[in-house]
């Protein structure tokens, strides 16, 4: 399937759900983000990245340290 418009891609993604009924939300971000930026050491210490055991390249989350 080819997505010829951003609206079509968003519509298809919004139809995704799990067998238990969990649905996704889709937001289109039209801001241009700079690539190659590095996080500061203090940010890395306060917001460690936890990678998924099965699909670490695709699933990860930033977990804030308790204050």
Which tens digit of pLDDT belongs to each residue from 9-62? 899 889 998 889 888 888 888 889 889 888 888 887 888 888 989 888 888 888
CA 25 to chain centroid, in Å, comes to 11
| pTM of the predicted model over 0.75 | no
Nearest to 62 by CA among 47, 40, 42, 43: 47
* Number of domain units in the chain: 1
Q: Is the pLDDT of residue 1 over 70?
A: no
Q: Which domain holds residue 34?
A: 6-62
**Which tokens go with 32?**
């241009």
Q: Is the pLDDT of residue 2 over 70?
A: yes
CA 44 to chain centroid, in Å, comes to 18
- In whole angstroms, what is the distance from residue 43 CA to residue 34 CA? 18
For residue 1, being part of any structural domain is answered with no
Half-sphere exposure of 6 (CA within 13 A, CB side): 5
For residue 67, being part of any structural domain is answered with no
């Amino acid at each position: 399937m080819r997505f010829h418009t951003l609206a079509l891609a968003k519509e298809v993604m919004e139809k995704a759900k799990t067998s238990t009924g969990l649905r996704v939300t889709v937001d289109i971000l039209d801001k241009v983000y700079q690539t190659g930026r590095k996080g500061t050491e203090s940010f890395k210490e306060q917001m460690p990245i936890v990678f998924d055991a099965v699909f670490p390249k695709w699933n990860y989350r930033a977990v804030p340290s308790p204050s």
